[in-house]
Amino acid sequence: MCRFAIASSIEPKLSDQRRRRSHIVKSRYLVTWALLLLTFFAACNRTHRYPMQGEVVATNEAAGEITVNHGDIPGFMEAMAMPYRVKDRASIQQIRPGDKIAAEVVVGSDRSDYWLENVRITDESGRGQIKLPPGSKMLMPGMTAPDATLINQDGQKIRLADFAGKATLVTFIYTRCPMPDFCPRLSGEFARIQDELKKSPEDYEKTHLLTISFDPKYDTPAVLRRYGLGYLDGDASGFSHWDFASAKADDMRRLADAFGLEYGGDENQITHSMVIVLIAPDGTVANYWGTNWTRTELMESMRAAIKQK
């Protein structure tokens, strides 16, 4: 009886110890995973900062953007002129074309997501005297757009000159783009613009939409046609107002340089900037947008371009 009593009294104690030990192991396991997850999310949300100096060539307060001619930004981008979103939109009110500025380019975990912070004017003496840097090919508003040859979703050759007399809204995508805030957003908003313009036969007649792929190897006419039909609710008649096209490498590079588009990468994932350009009925560049814009703003600009014809 005594031996049984002793064994019975020891057994619960051992069981309690095992439970405590198991609880400690589980706790350590959970803590380890929590730390790993925190490390992972911290890495995903990490931003990189690059100092930048340049000259402002255009401001777009409504879009919260400024277009800057800048020198090389080591680790991020070579010298060029392109639009940048400004984090502190109020600071744009103080900036004028021709101002020289210093700022920080902040790049998110996805290199296609970038903006400016800590923008400050360093020299106002050049206001109104905008000069593009040597070798820059980006067109400023009022300059004539290049007449590049494209192949559309029907395998037909088209040219930008074919849309003379119309306000033509142009953007650039690739159909495999996985970023919802980039190519799918552009195509989705263009689809809504298509539907809105269709409500006014006069506006529809005097406007055109053009989506250009910078991935011609994959985005063949057949692929572009399927992609386009997805945004036209399967109605092929919409192609008369909205073309989906690609260009040969030389023509694509000429368009990219002219409109400040940046793209590159491997065959499966292409890193690129977001560019929308409005070409006026007379064939000149009317306006640019980068990452910050609204559908209403784009449509109002198209209608304004029609009236100025």
What is the per-residue pLDDT for 141?
A: 83
Q: Encode pLDDT of 147-156 as tens digits.
A: 889 999 999 9
Report the CATH superfamily, name and number, of domain 48-123.
Copper binding periplasmic protein CusF (2.40.50.320)
Domain covering 149-307 in this structure, CATH number: 3.40.30.10
The proportion of the chain whose per-residue pLDDT surpasses 90, expressed as a percent, equals 48
Per-domain residue ranges for the chain? 48-123, 149-307
What is the per-residue pLDDT for 1?
A: 40
Answer yes or no: is pLDDT of 195 > 80.
yes
Q: Encode pLDDT of 185-194 as tens digits.
A: 999 999 999 9
Answer yes or no: is pLDDT of 134 > 60.
no
What is the per-residue pLDDT for 85?
A: 87
Q: Encode pLDDT of 260-301 as tens digits.
A: 888 876 666 677 888 899 999 999 999 888 877 889 999 999
DSSP notation for the chain: -HHHHHHHHHHHHHHHHHHHHHHHHHHHHHHHHHHHHHHHHHHHT--EEEEEEEEEEEEETTTTEEEEEE--BTTTB-SEEEEEEBSSGGGGGG--TT-EEEEEEEE-SSTT-EEEEEEEEEE-TTTT---PPTT--PPPTTSBPP--EEEETTS-EEEGGGGTTSEEEEEEE-TT---TTSHHHHHHHHHHHHHHHHTSHHHHHTEEEEEEES-TTT--HHHHHHHHHHHTTT-GGGGGTEEEEE--HHHHHHHHHHHT--EEE-SS-EEE---EEEEPTTSBEEEEE-S---HHHHHHHHHHHHHT-
